[in-house]
Structure 1
């Protein structure tokens, strides 16, 4: 049987390799790390998480990304299996111990008898054979140039930012307290999954002033590239208005300070557990492009973090993606070279889960093709189907931008003569999707 070659061992590449190998197709996985590094990665492990340790909401009845979790699990997804195995308390979200997660994905892939490995950088587009390019937002310069030359158009790009990580022992718990927003979670551990640092109005105003005045890192290449709205640096949010952060990642609603229950905080900074030991916490929503020295000074203005020690500071990197509605067919193949598929974030989906889901589909479709079969994409009223429909023709090519999964991508639900409440409508979306995805799997 012909082999399937996959370039990139991130979320999409790892999931694609697993799906194809489970289908009985021999896979060769090419990963340039650690011999060729990137700005954001620290190891050579597969599926290394860099921007966050959260897969977002795990509600599969009223949330589109939670539904995507469900579909991936139903399809035997390795990424979702390992995420649940290394789950951390995070209220209603699915957060994981990032190091243990990527180590376990690596172990499972290396133990699979149908998967072999060819380390090193792939610098050109392959002429023949079956290939999936799943190189993600940090595609190497040489390969990105080869893609650009083949497609005849400049690669599109936006900027992604990374949030800092703090050592838990350096957080002043006489100021901070443990609580998930609205006490969300089924267990006490879930209900107290976050550390919360309160701010008075005066402290918030001083923080915003320092944030706006801090020295920033700016890009000179691709200056027209914008930011993805779901991963905006906090400075960019603050520039949009002084209250923006207070109605975003620093909103105080649903939280009660156990040290002073009668006083309502003007703003609250939340930290989410980053590893199983509980020794590391990341500052939620605090992606930043501040220079390192400025980050330390500004973040230590947060009450409870005055003596904070940072395991990792934030940063910013350029995220490259292709104009998939123009370049890819409905099976995720490059129209000019149908032996090559694209998967993951480079296709214009945004987020760990969405990237892995597109890897899952690409792996299954490539495996089917190698076996002489044709696998259609899932129906558009499933989460995976809505995503692949969006990137392979549903989106307007001229204004194409990266997209998280959301119910706006799904065909509308028929209200059958009556108006549905939002919760009922979302439940109807997920019920319909589960039925359709189960039938597609069959």
Structure 2
């Protein structure tokens, strides 16, 4: 292995899902790639295997059906020749309606294909500074080392680099009961921007009691964090006293219930989370309760009895940039377009989403190196919806998110049932993907050498 970096090579930092996918796609485009991975010289607290693309937590890649947006995203990746999906399909294990993999076999498959590709050079060394090369993809992951986090912070602005993940649940708008909830802003300021769910004194105290005794996700060393007062888990606020939430995120003042004309004892507010008003974020409800407990407790809130959750809450150590502020729509750093970002550090959540941004970054970087403008996937595709989330989310409230149909442009006909609507979105996405795919991806030829069979 050489000790100098070829000036003509595309440099990629991080041998996780996004970095490997980016390397694979750029090589398919005929680009020479140098991929840096610090293992086995250095390990993060969460990693144990020397393989590339190690799955740290679950071995599940989530649902396979098209009624789930991640199923649509996986099919788009398959059609785009994704190494991630080739590995997943080759190493799948029985998992009902989900796609799960043999963790070791999956990582081994990707490692073998990366190591054996003639246009990819794998360097097992830690990167502690941003290289000055012509084009660089940073895919260092949510556990980016402190040494590399510093130069990333210097590039993106320290106020735009986050070292923890404080996520509140997101509710699908059409599952809210508006015979109970109503739209209004506190004191009538700002229009009807919030959805408000009222609680009586008895309902509030019952909620707090249940919250304090609910099962919580135990912490792990690499998720350890000091809670900031502005992002305290709701269960920890409840531990401080029964009335803490009523004077915090559940404060009812200035929100009279239109049915009574009086302020309720407490209120849960939800804020619009997407431009299409199909998703609403539960304001101040970040939590470390287990997912079953979240569903049980949150559905005890009046107006949310039938709530469907596009995302549940969590809090853990995570490094990600404020993508709407820092990145353009082609995943390039606005202040330095030679730098691309991919994977969870961009603010996507999940294995499949990380690989998807790697695929896009690899294609975009390859296009740039050929002197062409990156061609963006249609907004109606799952790939385009992810880019839309990263570009269009509200910077002040930006948080990592899984792909979901709430991120897609709505259908013209919204009268269909939920399942029919989702399947129609998937059908539209795959149809719209095809013209883009034919423009940006090689069908045959030397650039595609080494493709998984």
Q: How would you bin the TM-score normalised by the shorter chain?
A: 0.5 to 0.7
Tell me which residue corresponds to 1:406. 404
Write the distance in 1 (CA, Å) between the matches of 2:218 and 2:323: 37
Q: Does 1:49 align with 2:45?
A: no
Tell me which residue corresponds to 2:23. 17
Write the distance in 2 (CA, Å) between the matches of 1:47 and 1:4: 19
- Matching residue within 115, 118, 123 for 2:120: 115
SS of equivalent to 2:403: coil
For this pair of structures, how many residues does the alignment match? 328
Q: Structure 1's 212 and 423: CA in aligned 2 closer, same or farther, altered over 3 A?
A: closer
How does 1:108-147 map onto structure 2 within 5 Å? Answer: 108-147=113-152
1:244-287, CA deviations, whole angstroms, 9 ceiling, x for partnerless residues?
4999xxxxxxxxxxxxxxxxxxxxxxxxxxxxxxxxxxxxxxx9
Answer with 136-145 or 150-159: which moved more.
150-159
Write the distance in 2 (CA, Å) between the matches of 1:214 and 1:106: 32
1:149-205, CA deviations, whole angstroms, 9 ceiling, x for partnerless residues?
2222331243499xxxxxxxxxxxxxxxxxxxxxxxxxxxxxxxxxxxxxxxxxxxx
- Matching residue within 1, 7, 11 for 1:5: 11
Tell me which residue corresponds to 1:441. 437
How does 1:82-97 map onto structure 2 within 5 Å? Answer: 82-97=87-102
SS of equivalent to 2:142: helix
**Structure 1 length normalisation: TM-score?**
0.67
Write the distance in 2 (CA, Å) between the matches of 1:82 and 1:213: 30
Write the distance in 1 (CA, Å) between the matches of 2:131 and 2:106: 31
SS of equivalent to 1:56: strand
Write the distance in 2 (CA, Å) between the matches of 1:27 and 1:327: 25
**Structure 2 length normalisation: TM-score?**
0.66
Q: Shift of the alpha carbon at 1:219?
A: 2.4
SS of equivalent to 2:338: strand
SS of equivalent to 2:319: strand
Write the distance in 2 (CA, Å) between the matches of 1:160 and 1:324: 16
Aligned-pair RMSD on alpha carbons?
3.4
Mapped contact 1:158–1:226 kept (Cα < 8 A): no
Q: Shift of the alpha carbon at 1:363?
A: 0.2
Q: Structure 1's 319 and 237: CA in aligned 2 closer, same or farther, altered over 3 A?
A: farther
Tell me which residue corresponds to 2:266. none
SS of equivalent to 1:95: strand
Q: Does 1:31 align with 2:27?
A: no
Mapped contact 2:164–2:225 kept (Cα < 8 A): no
Q: Does 1:99 align with 2:104?
A: yes
How does 1:13-412 map onto structure 2 within 5 Å? Answer: 13-59=19-65, 61-154=66-159, 155-159=161-165, 219-220=225-226, 233-234=288-289, 238=293, 243-244=296-297, 318-392=317-391, 394-412=392-410
